[in-house]
């Protein structure tokens, strides 16, 4: 059975009125709105409750009321600092600096500043990010989705209408390309693949007697690329191994050492001459 703990809220000083900076005013409105959502939706209350249950289960001895109050305050700071860090997109070190500089951020994270300004360090912020395990954070996010998906509760937390939580809008116009490291032999293999695609298009149009099957080129270049990658420069005898791979390149399909054209070329010439239309006499203009 859960135990109710009465915790007195810290005195939060009123935010200063800042004029002349519209970006700050919009950021202030955003954080005030997020603060209301965390309080009214029950997300913060559930987060603190799960943290206290975990704290009591891991405690070796008797837990006093002061310990529970301190753990509750740390849990609130953990949730709010993590939310603010995700909103700003800062790393842990820069986030600690921003908290020390900005009074608005300290107000949102409920950091005490009556006697002195005390902000969490980068190590503490990293600990805040892993405050609860994944299974319990799923419960917290479920409460947030339920609050925003119901009309009455959505109006209570300041939303004009409920949100459609089943629909996800994703911008896919710019995605990071999954490319390989640009090694010379891998780039050469890609060039051969592109050329083979052009060969396949040509062969689909009936020109099939000029060179061997395109699959032979792909198999040969893949084997040579893997062999060149295996011949690392740090291995003994790697220079000799790379030279052997280079020599094999001259024996690729369709290549002859004597420089003569394959016999199929004569058949190709006959096919082109037979299909080409006869030109009428006198159609060419000499120089």
User: Distance between CA 145 and CA 156 in Å, rounded?
Assistant: 14
pLDDT for position 285 = 43
User: Distance between CA 31 and CA 11 in Å, rounded?
Assistant: 18
pLDDT for position 81 = 92
pLDDT for position 1 = 41
Instruction: Yes or no: say if 97 and 3 are a contact pair by the CB < 8 Å rule.
Output: no
pLDDT for position 4 = 53
Q: What pLDDT, in 10s, does the model give residues 121-130?
A: 999 999 998 8
Give 9's pLDDT tier (boundaries 50, 70, 90): low
pLDDT at 252 over 60: no
Mean pLDDT is lowest, of 23-27, 43-47, 250-254, 259-263, for 259-263
Q: What pLDDT, in 10s, does the model give residues 39-96?
A: 888 888 888 888 888 888 887 778 788 888 888 888 888 999 999 998 888 889 999 9
C-alpha dihedral, 133 to 139 to 144 to 147, nearest 10°: -170
pLDDT at 149 over 80: no
pLDDT for position 281 = 46
Mean pLDDT is lowest, of 75-84, 198-207, 242-251, for 242-251
Q: Which residue has the higher pLDDT, 178 or 85?
A: 85
User: Which DSSP symbol is given to 194?
Assistant: H
Give 210's pLDDT tier (boundaries 50, 70, 90): low
Residue 80 CA from chain centroid, whole number: 24
Mean pLDDT is lowest, of 43-47, 135-139, 244-248, 263-267, for 263-267
Closest by CA to 31, choosing from 216, 158, 145, 136, is 158
Mean pLDDT is lowest, of 152-161, 194-203, 276-285, for 276-285
Closest by CA to 117, choosing from 101, 137, 139, is 101
pLDDT at 278 over 70: no
């Amino acid at each position: 059975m859960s135990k109710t703990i009465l915790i007195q809220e810290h005195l939060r000083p009123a935010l200063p009125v800042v004029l002349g900076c519209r970006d700050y005013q919009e950021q202030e409105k955003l954080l005030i709105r997020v603060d209301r959502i965390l309080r009214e939706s029950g997300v913060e209350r559930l987060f603190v409750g799960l943290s206290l249950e975990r704290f009591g289960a891991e405690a070796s001895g008797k837990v006093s009321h002061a310990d529970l109050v301190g753990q509750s305050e740390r849990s609130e700071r953990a949730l709010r600092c993590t939310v603010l860090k995700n909103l700003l997109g800062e790393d842990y070190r820069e986030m600690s600096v921003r908290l020390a500089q900005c009074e608005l951020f300290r107000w949102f994270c409920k950091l005490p500043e009556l006697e002195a300004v005390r902000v969490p360090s980068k190590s503490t912020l990293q600990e805040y990010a892993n405050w609860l395990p994944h299974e319990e954070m799923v419960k917290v996010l479920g409460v947030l989705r339920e609050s925003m998906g119901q009309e009455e509760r959505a109006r209570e937390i300041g939303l004009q209408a409920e949100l459609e939580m089943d629909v996800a809008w994703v911008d896919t116009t710019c995605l990071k390309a999954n490319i390989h490291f640009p090694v010379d032999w891998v780039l050469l293999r890609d060039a051969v693949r592109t050329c083979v695609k052009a060969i396949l298009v040509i062969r689909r149009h009936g020109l099939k007697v000029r060179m061997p099957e395109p699959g032979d080129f792909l198999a040969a270049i893949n084997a040579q690329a893997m062999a060149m990658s295996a011949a690392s420069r740090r291995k003994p005898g790697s220079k000799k191994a790379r030279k052997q791979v280079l020599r094999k390149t001259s024996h690729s399909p369709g290549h002859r050492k004597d420089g003569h054209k394959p016999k199929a070329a004569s058949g190709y010439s006959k096919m082109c001459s037979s299909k080409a239309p006869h030109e009428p006499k006198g159609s060419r203009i000499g120089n």
